[in-house]
Amino acid sequence: MTDTANETGLEQIAEAAAEVVNCIRVLEKSGSNLVAEVLDGREFIEFEHYPPDDVYDPETHAQYYFHAHPQTRGEWNDYGHFHTFLRPRGMPEAVRPWPVAHSPQTESDNDALCHLIAISMNREGRPVRLFTTNRWVTAETWYQADDVIAMLDKFVVDLSRPSWPLNRWISAMFVLFRRDIEELIRERDRAVVAWLRDHPAGDVFEDRGLEVTSGKAIDLDQRLAEIRTRLGLED
């Protein structure tokens, strides 16, 4: 693990790891999994949002949904993924949108949401990858990396619907993989700058040639083993 968290930070990461494991465990013990919880028996159709109206916590203003793309994206193909967001009323006060064409920036309402991270899942309902996307993919409002990173602590979904274990799991993932998420968000901004340098005449944020701006495979078992090692709990 690449972070340099102090002991308090390590304790929080360990607690998040326990939360992630327990949420997956209790669902699988019940004959379900994280993906099955969000689909809730519905037919799985490409591009549809699950649940249909997304999951939105009106207190924290965290939001997410699950969906899938056609299997034509090469290395970025997955069974499906969660897109996570934060809306303006949940953001730190100092955060401001970056002035980008086509980027919703209405300050009088709560619509200028920011995409934080996407979590790819496999058919067994386990997380396998984290990735970021270009602005056009989710029609988000664009915020620079430092501001997006400042939002990460605010992503908490404290609801019973569509699934309490699912909501606790996705909230804990932001702690367990915090350093990875930060790195991917910074890499996202570097990818945008590099693309703009190579395509100076285009609108980088609307360019369909740039969809995934950064990504990283994750291994939950490996992360848990790393945490055990750092805590001195080797078998």
- Name the band, by pLDDT with cuts 50, 70 and 90, for residue 47: confident
Q: What is the pLDDT of the chain when averaged over all its residues?
A: 91
Whether residue 171 is contained in a domain is answered as no
Whether residue 140 is contained in a domain is answered as yes
For residue 68, give the nearest of 89, 46, 50, 49 by alpha carbon: 46
State both tokens at 162.
């569509």
The pLDDT of residue 99: 83
Whether residue 235 is contained in a domain is answered as no
Please give the span between the terminal C-alpha atoms of the chain, in angstroms, as a whole number.
Answer: 19
- Residues 6 or more apart whose CB falls under 8 angstroms from that of 165 comprise 23, 26, 27, 34, 37
The pLDDT of residue 3: 43
What is the spatial distance between Cα 35 and Cα 17, in angstroms, rounded to a whole number?
19
Whether residue 138 is contained in a domain is answered as yes
The pLDDT of residue 79: 83
Judging by beta carbons within 10 Å of its beta carbon (0-12, 13-18, 19+), is residue 114 exposed, middle or buried?
buried
Q: Is the pTM of this model over 0.85?
A: yes
**pLDDT tens column, 192-235:** 999 999 999 999 999 999 999 999 999 999 999 999 898 887 65
Among residues of the chain, what percentage have pLDDT more than 70? 90
What is the spatial distance between Cα 8 and Cα 25, in angstroms, rounded to a whole number?
26
Write out the DSSP string of 46-86.
Answer: TT--EEEEEEE-TTT-EEEEEE---S-SGGG--SEEEEEEE
Whether residue 118 is contained in a domain is answered as yes
Whether residue 206 is contained in a domain is answered as yes
State both tokens at 154.
């605010």
Whether residue 115 is contained in a domain is answered as yes
Judge whether residue 170 has pLDDT over 60: yes
Contact indicator for 147, 183 with CB cutoff of 8 Å: no
What is the spatial distance between Cα 63 and Cα 113, in angstroms, rounded to a whole number?
9
What is the extent of the structural domain holding 215? 44-157+179-222
Long-range contacts of 36-44 (CB under 8 A, 24+ apart): 36/125, 37/162, 37/163, 37/165, 37/166, 38/66, 38/82, 38/162, 38/163, 38/166, 39/66, 40/162, 40/163, 44/68, 44/80
The pLDDT of residue 235: 55
- Rg (C-alpha) for the chain, rounded Å, is 18
Whether residue 65 is contained in a domain is answered as yes
Judge whether residue 105 has pLDDT over 80: no
Domains in the chain: how many in total? 1
- Name the band, by pLDDT with cuts 50, 70 and 90, for residue 69: confident
Is there a cis peptide before residue 52, judged by omega within 30 degrees of 0? no
- Name the band, by pLDDT with cuts 50, 70 and 90, for residue 103: confident
How are the residues of the chain apportioned to helix, strand and coil, as percentages rounded to the nearest 5? Answer: 40, 15, 40
For residue 192, give the nearest of 95, 62, 120, 98 by alpha carbon: 98
